[in-house]
Chains A and B, each alone.
Chain A
Amino acid sequence: GAGVSQSPSNKVTEKGKDVELRCDPISGHTALYWYRQSLGQGLEFLIYFQGNSAPDKSGLPSDRFSAERTGGSVSTLTIQRTQQEDSAVYLCASSLGGGRLNEQFFGPGTRLTVL
């Protein structure tokens, strides 16, 4: 498709399990971002990729969170030993570059529920 896609759209897991969230950015977009959106909290930045490298991972809340990007395209966000406070919508966005005027195109998000 032409837009950013994310899978799965919904994920329900039990506390302590690991989850993987996938993001397919727009073809040709070198910059990729992961955000977390909780009710009433706006978008919380998690990590930024330029190509396959992550020059800014300052938003990852703990070492249980990690992300990788391969081939300058698909990215996977992994959460290990999930906790109930990890429940949120995880949004991925891509842009042509990382400059201040670049438009971010967002995917529909993955809604994660940790029981």
Chain B
Amino acid sequence: TQLLEQSPQFLSIQEGENLTVYCNSSSVFSSLQWYRQEPGEGPVLLVTVVTGGEVKKLKRLTFQFGDARKDSSLHITAAQPGDTGLYLCAGRLAGGSYIPTFGRGTSLIVHP
């Protein structure tokens, strides 16, 4: 079983649409990170959230950490073709190792 479940697995939308990607678990995390990966490259960190209920904004991207620190969401407003990529969440278990556990990712395609 996957410790971090991401949904949806695939998303194909038109430029200008809004979307939300989810990262859910039954475990509590001390921190959670979101990465974006483009083809042929390694993942690049977008944000780290550590406090339950925390909301962070990065231009058109809004990240939220659940109150119980078991889930997170990424919302993109007015998606652009440059947002295309694989979005990965990664969490470090509370009281556990500092090695992050990754979800399987959400593959996003934004059509012009």
Q: Is A100 a contact partner of B31 (Cβ separation < 8 A)? A: yes
Inter-chain CA distance A44–B104, complex, in Å, is: 9
Cβ-closest chain A residue relative to B103: A42
Residues of B near A91 (CB, < 8 A) are: 42-43
Residues of B near A48 (CB, < 8 A) are: 99
| Per-residue A-contact encoding for B62-99, CB less than 8 Å = 1, 0 else | 00000000000000000000000000101010000111
- If over half of B's interface residues share one DSSP class (helix, strand or loop), that class is named, otherwise mixed; here it is loop
Give the interface segment out of A11-19, A67-75, A76-84, A103-111.
Answer: A103-111
A98 in the interface, Cβ–Cβ < 8 Å? Answer: yes
CB-CB under 8 A for A107 and B50, given A42-B102, A101-B31: no
Inter-chain CA distance A81–B48, complex, in Å, is: 39
Q: Is A101 a contact partner of B97 (Cβ separation < 8 A)? A: no
Q: How many chain B residues touch the partner (CB < 8 A)?
A: 24
A1 in the interface, Cβ–Cβ < 8 Å? Answer: no
Contact of B42 among A42, A93, A98, A103 (CB under 8 A): A93
Contact of A43 among B40, B43, B44, B50 (CB under 8 A): B43
Residues of B near A102 (CB, < 8 A) are: 98
CB-CB under 8 A for A101 and B88, given A42-B105, A43-B102, A106-B43: no
Q: Is B102 a contact partner of A100 (Cβ separation < 8 A)? A: no
By Cβ-Cβ distance, the 6 closest A-B pairs, closest first, are A106-B42, A42-B104, A43-B102, A42-B102, A100-B92, A100-B31
> B: which residues have CB within 8 A of A?
2, 9, 30-31, 40-45, 48, 50, 88, 90, 92, 97-105
Name 20 extra pairs, CB < 8 A, besides A56-B97, A101-B31.
A4-B42, A33-B99, A41-B104, A42-B103, A42-B105, A43-B88, A44-B102, A45-B99, A48-B99, A91-B42, A91-B43, A98-B98, A100-B92, A102-B98, A104-B100, A105-B45, A106-B41, A106-B43, A108-B42, A109-B41
